[in-house]
Amino acid sequence: MSNSVHKEEIKEVMLSVQKLLDTLTEEERKEVIKKQGYEIAATPKVNRERFKTCKEASKMCIYSEPVLRKLCKNSNKNNFPCIHIGKRIYIDIERLNDWTVDHLGQQVN
């Protein structure tokens, strides 16, 4: 019987320690949020296969690499589906086909 009493006491101590650790980590998280001024709600999952460089995209579509670069450079005006990350440019291949269809018959710079 004393063995089961010890197990119960150990279990209670372990639960208390876990609650304390949870409280400490929550307080640390709140401090980080306060320091940063924002909270990250969730980390988005991105399918990296859908984003290609201009060189890679030119092999998959009707546009040459220089044309793609020009379209990316003017993406604010023409809503071209690309993203600029530092000096790198990535084209959203899934949206590229839709963009092409939407701009058929138009002259786009």
Q: How far is the C-alpha of 58 from the C-alpha of 52, rounded, in Å?
A: 9
Mean pLDDT across 81-104: 92
pLDDT band at 27 (very low <50, low <70, confident <90, very high): confident
Mean pLDDT across 12-22: 83
Domain ranges of the chain: 1-42, 48-102
pLDDT tops 80 at residue 28: yes
Q: Which two tokens stand for residue 15?
A: 């639960």
Mean pLDDT across 68-78: 93
Q: What is the CB neighbour count within 10 angstroms for residue 80? A: 20
Q: Give the end-to-end CA distance of the chain in Å, rounded to a whole number.
A: 84
- Per the model's pLDDT, the better-predicted residue between 109 and 86 turns out to be 86
pLDDT tops 90 at residue 105: no
User: Rounded to the nearest 10 degrees, how much is the dihedral formed by the CA atoms of 27, 29, 34, 35?
Assistant: 110
Q: How far is the C-alpha of 97 from the C-alpha of 86, rounded, in Å?
A: 25
pLDDT tops 70 at residue 31: yes
- pTM of this prediction? 0.57
pLDDT tops 80 at residue 63: yes
